Amino acid sequence: MDFATRRRSQGGLFEGLYRVIMRRNSVYVTFVIVGAFLGERAVDYGVHRLWEYNNVGALSRKDLGMIVISLRT
């Protein structure tokens, strides 16, 4: 049995993932929902870090409001 025949009979990485994740509808739906939630958290974290990196030393509206309030007292 050569390598190509063995590989076809065992299936590849994507075929294995397909069998594990998409075999049942409940597992697939859970995978999609959890993946969307974790993906959203990762994008939100990345954008927040990028925003903070690009705005180092800049005053925000929140900071300006605190300065105005402290000047009034």
Query: Quick one: tokens of 73?
Result: 């007292």
| 15 in a structural domain | no
CA-to-CA distance for 57 and 73, rounded, in angstroms? Answer: 25
| 35 in a structural domain | yes
Q: What are phi and psi of 55, to 5 degrees?
A: -115, 35
Q: Span 52-60, mean pLDDT?
A: 77
**pLDDT band at 61; cut points 50, 70, 90:** low
Cα atoms in the Cβ-side hemisphere of radius 13 Å centred on 10:
9
Q: Span 32-51, mean pLDDT?
A: 95
CA-to-CA distance for 62 and 21, rounded, in angstroms? Answer: 45
Query: Quick one: tokens of 51?
Result: 């925003």
| 2 in a structural domain | no
| 5 in a structural domain | no
Looking at the structure of the chain, the number of domains it has is 1
Contact yes or no for 39/33 (Cβ under 8 A): no
- Host domain of residue 40: 25-73
